[in-house]
Amino acid sequence: MAATGDTLLRVEHLTMRFGGLVAVDDLSFEAQAGNITALIGPNGAGKTTVFNCITGFYKPSEGRIGLRHGDAAMWSELETLTDSGERRLARANGTLYQLERMPEYLVAQQARVARTFQNIRLFPGMTALENLLVAQHNRLMLASGYTLFGVLGFPAYRHAEQAAIDKATRWLERVGLIERADDPAGDLPYGAQRRLEIARAMCTDPLLLCLDEPAAGLNPRESAELNELLLAIRAEHGISILLIEHDMSVVMGISDHVVVLDYGVKIADGDPASVRNDAKVIAAYLGVADQDVAQAEAEVGL
């Protein structure tokens, strides 16, 4: 498969088996840099499994997940990286990672892929501000001389901490939670927790942001605000977004590219308009065979 110009993430022949169950079957797709790519499909289609494979929480049974930093020309080295058996290949003009070879914390730390969770995973007993500081752990750890200078009270750490607090403050303002900065995250309303989780993921300075159903449980107004937030994040920080979503107003409203999964198999891949009219996709969502789509559509009044 020849990589197109500005590919950021390349998933090739990804297969994930749990015992006899094939959750993801030979899935290949690409996410372009600066784009919003949506991964959709009915419940149980294997979307979250794909996410867990990309972010290193699962080790895929088969397949390759490549991620590029820097120059697009790096893709030509992918086979070299695969043959070397290493996790990453660094050159002067960029770095190539093979995510399926990395543990989850290195995917976040080195490959700079951040994620959120379907069931929100904040640190409920810590304040909103603390949540955002934990996200800046690795940089602060360096600044504190791996704790040693920090315990001794060196000023370098205080400056770094102040910078981290400033950054957290900017993000709290960005997601409209600055008034609740000192409240425990567990006390925030649901929609605010979703926004805080996105802000926390952004505090890790990602290149690729993976959002697992960010609009779940939000009302239409909140979904619209979420759309604006995601578009603004992309515009300001130039990052790419990969999202799983059921809310079609979000998917169709903001994504540049849609990949549809059903029973672990890719059934459609393209821009939102073409996917929306794809017979296979409609069949999968309505739960009928391809040839019965017209009849089913008539029944539900489409």
Partner 1 sequence: MKKGATAPRVPLARALRDAGFTALLTFGLLLPLVGFQTVTNFRNVLIVVSRWPLLLSIVAIVGVGRLGYSLVVEPWLERRRSRPVAAPPAWRTTSAKWFGPFAIGFVIVYPPLILLINGFGGAVKWIDNFGIQILIYVMLGWGLNIVVGLAGLLDLGYVAFYAVGAYSYALLAKEFGLSFWLLLPMAGILASLWGIMLGFPVLRLRGDYLAIVTLAFGEIIRIVIINWVSLTNGYAGITSIPRPTLFGIPFTADDNGFAAVFGLEFSPIYRVIYLYYIILALALLTAFVTVRLRRLPVGRAWEALREDEIACRSLGINTTNTKLTAFAMGAMFAGFAGSFFATRQGFISPESFTFLESATILSIVVLGGMGSQIGVAIAAVAMIGGTEIMRELDFLKQIFGATFDPTQYRMLLFGFAMVLIMIWRPRGLISTRAPSVFLKERKSISADLIGEGHG
10 versus 115: smaller Cβ distance to partner 1: 115
Residue with tokens 């409240």: 183
Q: How far is the CB of 8 from partner 1 (least distance, A)?
A: 18
Q: Which of 18, 92, 93 is nearest to 60 (CA)?
A: 18
Contacts with partner 1, residue ranges (CB under 8 A): 55, 57, 104-106, 108-109, 114-115, 117, 121-127, 129-130, 133-138, 140-141, 144, 147, 150-151, 153, 157, 161, 165, 169, 178, 181-184, 186-187, 200-201, 204
Q: How far is the CB of 152 from partner 1 (least distance, A)?
A: 9
DSSP string, 39-88: EE-STTSSHHHHHHHHTTSS--SEEEEEEEEE-GGGGGGHHHHHHHT-SE
Q: Indicate if the alpha-carbon torsion angle 77, 56, 135, 183 is positive or negative.
A: positive
**What is the rounded CA–CA span in Å between residue 290 and residue 302?**
15
Q: How far is the CB of 165 from partner 1 (least distance, A)?
A: 7
Counting every residue, how long is the chain? 302
Q: Is 100 helix (H, G, I), strand (E, B) or coil?
A: helix
185 versus 281: smaller Cβ distance to partner 1: 185
Amino acid at residue number 264: G
Q: 240-244 and 36-40: which strand pairing?
A: parallel
15 versus 138: smaller Cβ distance to partner 1: 138
189 versus 287: smaller Cβ distance to partner 1: 189
| Consecutive H or E run containing 126 | none
60 versus 272: smaller Cβ distance to partner 1: 60
95 versus 136: smaller Cβ distance to partner 1: 136
Burial bucket for residue 142 (CB in 10 Å: 0-12, 13-18, 19+): exposed
Q: How far is the CB of 184 from partner 1 (least distance, A)?
A: 5
Q: How far is the CB of 283 from partner 1 (least distance, A)?
A: 34
Cα 89 to Cα 69, 76, 259, 274, distances in angstroms: 10, 12, 28, 36
Q: How far is the CB of 293 from partner 1 (least distance, A)?
A: 39
26 versus 130: smaller Cβ distance to partner 1: 130
Q: How far is the CB of 300 from partner 1 (least distance, A)?
A: 38
